[in-house]
Structure 1
Amino acid sequence: MPWEEAYGFSQAIRSGSTLYISGQLSHDMDANFVGEGDFELQVRTTFANIDRVLEAHSAHKDQIVETMVYVKNLREHFEDIARLHHEYFGNHRPTSTLLGVVDLALPPQLVEISAVAILGSA
C-alpha cells in the first residue's frame, strides 16, 4: 500500500517462523477506503486484507495465533464484531484482545485488526 513508504511501516514482517501483521483496515487494492458507515462491510474487508497479507507469505488464517481488534463505538458494535470474528475463524480459535477506541487513523474507519501468525504450522 502507498502509505507504507510514507509512514515507514510494513504490512507484515517475518521474524523466524512468526509473522506480525500490521493493523489492517477496510481499503481496496488502490488504498481507497471501503464501507463508510457500514461496520460489517468494514470488518469483512479488513479480514479480506488480512487474507491477502497471509497469502503473500504463503500462510492461512488457521495459522493466526493472536488478533488485536480495535473498534470505535464498541458498545454499539460488540455483538457484530464477536459474530464476524467467529465467522471468519470458524472452529479455529486464536487468542484475541478486543479494545474500544475513541478514534482510528481515518475519520470513517470503525475497525482495525492486527494479527500474529505462526508459519509452517497449519
Structure 2
Amino acid sequence: MSIEKKTYRSGPWKDVFAQGVRVGDRLYLAGQVSMDESGAVVGAGDIAAQVRTTYGNIARVLGQFGATMENVVDETLFVTDMAMVMDNLEAVGGARAEAYGGTAEVSQTMVQVAGLVMPELLIEIKCVAQL
C-alpha cells in the first residue's frame, strides 16, 4: 500500500527533515522552536518570547498547507524547565492565547526534557492538525 505525502521543508535543516507532512486530511508538524529562518535562537532566556516565536513558526508551517491554528487538534510541549514554565504561567498562557486567538481547544501534553537541539532553547512544540 502506498501512502501519498506532501511535505514542507525550510530553515537550516531542510535537507535533514520536513517541518510538516500531510497524509490525507491530517497534518503532522515537526517540533517547532524559537528560531528565525537562519537558525538563530529568538528570545534566549525568555520563555514567553520563545512561546510566541514558536507558535509563530507553527502558524507559518500550517499556512504552507492552507491551515491555521484553528486546525490544530493536538500538541505536545517539550520544556527544559517545568518550574520556569509554571512560574511564568500567566505570560506563557498569554502568548499561547495570542496564538490561538483565545482559549486553545486542543488536547495538550507537556513534558520536561533534559535538553533541546540548542542549549538556549527552552521549549519545543509538536502538533497535529486536522484539515
* 1:34 aligned counterpart, secondary structure: coil
Identify if the C-alpha distance between structure 1 residues 91 and 73 changes in structure 2 by more than 3 Å, giving closer, same or farther.
closer
Which contiguous aligned blocks of 4+ residues in structure 1 show a shift greater than 3 angstroms? Answer: 80-84
- Residue in structure 1 matched with residue 7 of structure 2 by the alignment: none
Measured in 2, the distance between the counterparts of 1:22 and 1:92 equals 19
Q: Equivalent of 2:62, from 54, 78, 81?
A: 54
Structure number having the greater helix percentage = 1
Q: Does 1:4 align with 2:14?
A: yes
The runs of 5 or more residues in structure 2 that have no matched partner are: 1-10
- Residue in structure 2 matched with residue 69 of structure 1 by the alignment: 77
Q: Does 1:32 align with 2:40?
A: yes
Identity of aligned residues (%): 35
Scaled by the length of structure 1, the TM-score of the pair is: 0.88
Measured in 2, the distance between the counterparts of 1:91 and 1:34 equals 25
Letter in 2 for 1:50: I
Deviation at 1:101, TM superposition (A): 1.4
Deviation at 1:86, TM superposition (A): 3.7
- Residue in structure 1 matched with residue 4 of structure 2 by the alignment: none
Aligned ranges 1:89-108 → 2 under 5 Å: 89=100, 90-108=102-120
Deviation at 1:18, TM superposition (A): 0.3
Q: Equivalent of 1:110, from 94, 98, 122?
A: 122
Letter in 2 for 1:77: V
Which has the larger displacement, 99-108 or 43-52? 99-108
From the CA coordinates, give the structure whose radius of gyration is larger: 2
The runs of 5 or more residues in structure 1 that have no matched partner are: none
Measured in 2, the distance between the counterparts of 1:75 and 1:115 equals 22
Deviation at 1:69, TM superposition (A): 0.4
Deviation at 1:117, TM superposition (A): 0.3
Deviation at 1:60, TM superposition (A): 0.6
Deviation at 1:92, TM superposition (A): 3.9
Measured in 2, the distance between the counterparts of 1:102 and 1:82 equals 23
